[in-house]
Amino acid sequence: MYQIVLTTQNARYIHSSLALRCLKANLAELAEQARILEFTIKDRPLETAEKILAHNPEILGLGVYIWNADVATQLVRVLKRLRPGLVIVLGGPEVSHETDEQEIVKLADYVVAGEGEIAFAGLAREILSGNMPQETIIKASVPDLENIILPYDHYTEEDIAHRMIYLEASRGCPFRCDFCLSSLDRKVRRFDSRNILLEITKLFDRGVRHFRFVDRSFELGVTSAMLEFFLQHSGEGIFLHLELGPDRIKESFRKILARFPQGTLQIEAGIQSFNSEVLYRINRTQDTEKTIENLEFLKSSTKAHIHSDLIVGLPGETIESFAEGFDRLMSVGPQEIQVGILKKLRGTAIGRHDEEWRMVYNPIPPYEILANRLIDFETMTRLRRFSRYFDLVHNSGRFPLLCARLMNASSYFNSFMAFSDWLYEKTGRTYAISPKALQKLLAQYLVEIKGLDKHEVQYCFEQDQHYSRKKSPGPKTLAERQHRHMNNKR
């Protein structure tokens, strides 16, 4: 039995919640009375409630995000019916803003808005001592990172064997992008790099080989010493994921990144748009030419897997200017381009453009844009399908030869949009299309619509099949990698 249960519904089982572990680490004398339980958005709320209530907690801390807002609300409804006396405390970005209009906030007892380690611990002590605070919305003050107890000891052996391990070397973001919650914390605060390196070493010794930093710009928190540690152990199954500001890579980092061997480093480089007027309008400071230069360096001089982002639906971005930016990014050649759909996250400044640009958003999470003054609903829906199919065809890496025949260098965007429209007309769906079926449809399109020689297409089809069978899926699966190293240790 535990007095406190800390829980959330992750998007997938392989994910882990760094936030829950931060909360538990900073409960101090209450940590032994707290249990972390993680679920997924596919778990039925009634079964989740059963597992929570089996521990008979007095307090439930629940993390709420755009991906789990609906199922979290269902869970709170069920729990309050079954155990009205259970004190439910919400936290997370989804409930840290615009609390008055949210059903889940009305159902729960308290909300800790903001970085909650210190505030949640204080609230839990008051509740357990019988002093229930009258104020139900607790605005957490920004904690001094020197006073935060690091959470990494709370990753279990099961986590290490089966889940992604997340770390943070800094909090905050130097950018002020209207669409991003990180822009609300404009001051970048860094954890003591020596302590983070010590924690990395401890996790490595426990068998962790896949490290994913959540820092918004790794060059502001991750140090050369950390990168050198990962580089030193790159022959031992290391896989490292970092997010960076693509126009702000220091020369010292360039030299280290160039030394990482194949299959050990993934870099997420957010572009969002190449339209300078749009970038200015949404308060994103970005040196476009420096961005291109750094992307070209990463592509030509490193062996990193590069993941880049563009956003559909930004105020003032036409389909033509988006297409131009997409073609420009494709010409650089990152392995993945995520075509994201603009979301109106609670608390962000993107809403200030609603009237001028007639921005219409879906009221259901994840609050994606449906239409605006320049892109109507029908076109936005086509772009949403484009995004999904591009993931399945290009980003999957399953069909390199067929995909190369599909994409026309005169306009990568137009050539893929034509295929996207045809594919939807053929299938009527964007999900539940198997890779085998997708490959056949791609080959059919190349022959029947693009007029390619059927023998050439058949050759590409067979070679892609052979490639897919031989292709190593990145650093193997996480579970395979972790189990192999844990077994080696034993």
Q: How far apart are CA 305 and CA 266, in angstroms?
A: 5
In a domain, 394, yes or no: no
CATH code, 28: 3.40.50.2300
| 282 in Cβ contact with 177 (< 8 Å) | yes
Residues 336, 233 share a domain: yes
CA atoms within 13 A on the CB side of 404: 12
**Parallel, antiparallel, or unpaired for β 239-244 and 34-40?**
unpaired
pLDDT given at position 220:
80
Residues 160, 301 share a domain: yes
pLDDT given at position 487:
37
DSSP-derived secondary structure for 439-479: HHHHHHHHHHTS---HHHHHHHHHHHHHHHHH---SSS-HH
Query: Which residues, 6 or more positions from 252, have their beta carbon under 8 angstroms from its beta carbon?
Result: 224
Q: What is the largest CA-CA distance in the chain?
A: 78
Residues 37, 16 share a domain: yes
Residues 343, 199 share a domain: yes
Q: Which of 89, 111, 143 is the last residue of a domain?
A: 143
Q: How far apart are CA 312 and CA 298, in angstroms?
A: 24
Residues 214, 188 share a domain: yes
Q: 371 is written with which tokens? A: 């239409």
Q: How far apart are CA 31 and CA 25, in angstroms?
A: 7
Q: Which of 351, 376, 401 is the last residue of a domain?
A: 376
Residues 219, 276 share a domain: yes
In a domain, 85, yes or no: yes
In a domain, 128, yes or no: yes
pLDDT given at position 190:
93
Exposed/middle/buried for residue 73 (C-beta within 10 Å: 0-12, 13-18, 19+): buried
Strand intervals (E) in 290-442: 305-312, 336-341, 360-361, 369-371
Q: How far apart are CA 53 and CA 36, in angstroms?
A: 13
In a domain, 362, yes or no: yes
**pTM for this one?**
0.91
Residues 116, 40 share a domain: yes
Q: 324 is written with which tokens? A: 């131009």
How many structural domains compose the chain?
Answer: 2
- The residue type found at 480 is E
Residues 9, 114 share a domain: yes
CATH code, 315: 3.80.30.20
- Residue 67's SS3 state is coil
DSSP state of 125: H
Residues 313, 226 share a domain: yes
In a domain, 15, yes or no: yes
Q: How far apart are CA 485 and CA 264, in angstroms?
A: 15
pLDDT given at position 175:
81
pLDDT given at position 184:
77
Q: Which of 341, 376, 411 is the last residue of a domain?
A: 376
pLDDT given at position 124:
97
Query: Which residues, 6 or more positions from 349, have their beta carbon under 8 angstroms from its beta carbon?
Result: 178, 183, 283
Q: How far apart are CA 384 and CA 368, in angstroms?
A: 10
pLDDT given at position 96:
94
In a domain, 184, yes or no: yes
Residues 195, 111 share a domain: no
| 22 in Cβ contact with 148 (< 8 Å) | yes
> Which residues in 446-463 are b (16+ Cβ under 10 Å) and which e?
beeeeebeeeebeebbee
Residues 98, 137 share a domain: yes
Q: Which residues of the chain have pLDDT under 50?
A: 472-490
- Residue 411's SS3 state is coil
**Which domain, by its residues, includes 298?**
155-376
pLDDT given at position 481:
42
**What are the Cα distances from residue 481, in Å, to 43, 231, 236, 238, 412?**
26, 17, 10, 9, 36
Could you identify the residue written with the tokens 């209207």? 178
In a domain, 434, yes or no: no
Q: How far apart are CA 134 and CA 144, in angstroms?
A: 26
Residues 223, 165 share a domain: yes
Could you identify the residue written with the tokens 């009221």? 363
